[in-house]
Amino acid sequence: MLEIGTQAPAFTLKDQDGNTVSLSDFAGKRVVVYFYPRDNTPGCTRQACAFAQNFDGFRSRDVVVIGISKDSVASHLKFAQKYELPFILLSDPELQAIQAYDVWQEKKLYGKVSMGVVRTTYVIDPQGNIEKVMPKVKPDTNAADILAYLDGVQ
């Protein structure tokens, strides 16, 4: 995991609409970047829908929400449309941001070991530094936990 207070790694990736999005596009704003394993899986869908349900809370605090997985732009578009997701989903098939943020890790499931994205959320401050690290977050409470954190620091 990246350390609190360190510079957030820069990234430039395609969003669900095929537009190029860079972290630097949001300089001066607080950004929530959440990494998730895969579109349309039960946990990832619950997490995305929780962010969607809480989106007005993020917007009222002037906080940008970005979800990143290794899924394709086309997969992200279908996922965003299916669940009416109002925030940015970035496609990282080359694992650029995923590895830079140290969320590509060994995972164990039913005794089988494989590499994959560990569900992790970072809050990046307006100066581009890591403000909060939330490893192995719970899909259902991640968005609400971040809002509670933001209310404690603002």
What pLDDT digit, counting tens, does each position of 33-48 carry? 999 999 999 999 999 9
pTM of the model: 0.95
Give the active site residues.
Answer: 44
CB-based burial of residue 78 (10 Å sphere; 0-12 exposed, 13-18 middle, 19+ buried)? Answer: middle
Q: What's the rounded mean pLDDT across residues 101-127? A: 92
Cα distance between residue 9 and residue 45, in whole Å: 26
Domains of the chain with bracketed CATH: 12-153 (3.40.30.10)
Q: Which helix (H) or strand (E) holds 81?
A: helix 73-83
Cα distance between residue 85 and residue 8, in whole Å: 25
Cα distance between residue 151 and residue 154, in whole Å: 6
Q: What's the rounded mean pLDDT across residues 11-33? A: 98
DSSP labels for 27-76? TTSEEEEEE-S-TTSHHHHHHHHHHHHTHHHHHHTTEEEEEEESS-HHHH
What is the reported pLDDT for 9?
A: 98
Q: pLDDT at residue 153 above 70?
A: no
